[in-house]
């Protein structure tokens, strides 16, 4: 894609956010099984650095639907990490690489969210107390992180190749 930010980019971002939000709602009945990670990877591969703009718009829509809470702060730094990692490794086309990256991202999602939990939900008595509380919060969520990892890995493994082919056709068609 070109370096400038144009109308086509705004349209891609709008469609990306709509697709991510639709998939999120469709899979909401499954605990920690989501396509947000998958789509952020795929849109980053399509749009490059411009995919960073998807994240705050997605978060704003989520906050407007579910109300603001500490997860908004978490999302503001956790999802860009995935976009950044994808952008750094964007030349890699190996499906297993992307499945592993996506799986590990799901596995460490709770760990990445822990700092915000510690800051917002522990008393500022001592640093030691905050660290213990954060560790306990993270450990309690490990089963959900495992489900997140398995879901991310599996979805990426199954969907990466057909969607990557479609993305490449879209890229060719849009030029």
As a whole number, the mean pLDDT across the chain is 92
Q: Is the pLDDT of residue 2 over 60?
A: no
Residue 139 reports pLDDT greater than 60 = yes
Instruction: Work out the angle at residue 60's Cα, subtended by the Cα atoms of residues 89 and 4, and round it to the nearest 5 degrees.
Output: 50
Dist CA 130 CA 139 (whole Å): 14
Q: Which residues of 78-114 are buried (b: 16+ CB within 10 A; e: fewer)?
A: bbbebbebbbeeeeeeeeeebbbbbbebbbbbbbbbb
Q: What angle do CA 43, 49, 55 make, to 5 degrees?
A: 60
pLDDT tens for each residue of 84-119: 999 999 999 999 999 999 999 999 999 999 998 888
Sign of CA dihedral 65, 70, 72, 78: negative
Residues 133, 130: Cα–Cα separation, whole Å: 5
Residue 131 near residue 148 (C-beta atoms within 8 A): no
Contact status, residue 46 vs residue 161, Cβ threshold 8 Å: no
Residue 170's pLDDT is 75
Pick 54 or 115 by higher pLDDT. 54
Q: Which domains does the chain have, with CATH numbers?
A: 7-174 (1.10.1760)
Residue 144, pLDDT above cutoff 90: yes
Top pLDDT among 125 and 165 is at: 165
Q: How high is the pLDDT of residue 174?
A: 63
Q: Look at the pTM and tell me if it is higher than 0.85.
A: yes
Above 50 in pLDDT, residue 1? Answer: no
The residues, ordered by sequence, that sit 6+ positions from 163 with a Cβ below 8 Å of its Cβ are: 38, 42
């Amino acid at each position: 894609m070109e370096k400038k930010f144009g109308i086509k980019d705004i349209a891609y971002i709008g469609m990306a956010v709509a697709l991510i939000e639709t998939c999120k709602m469709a899979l909401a009945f499954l605990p920690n099984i989501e396509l947000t990670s998958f789509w952020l990877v795929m849109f980053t591969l399509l749009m490059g650095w411009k995919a960073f703009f998807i994240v705050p718009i997605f978060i704003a829509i989520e906050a407007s639907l579910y109300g603001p809470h500490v997860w908004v702060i978490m999302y503001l730094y956790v999802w860009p990490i995935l976009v950044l990692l994808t952008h750094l490794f964007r030349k890699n086309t190996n499906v297993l690489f992307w499945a592993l990256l996506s799986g590990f991202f799901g596995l460490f999602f709770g760990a990445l969210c822990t700092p915000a939990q510690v800051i917002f939900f522990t008393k500022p008595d001592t640093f030691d107390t905050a660290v213990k509380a954060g560790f306990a919060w993270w450990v309690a969520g490990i089963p959900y992180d495992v489900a997140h990892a398995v879901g991310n890995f599996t979805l990426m493994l199954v969907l990466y190749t057909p969607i990557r082919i479609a993305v490449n056709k879209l890229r060719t068609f849009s030029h």
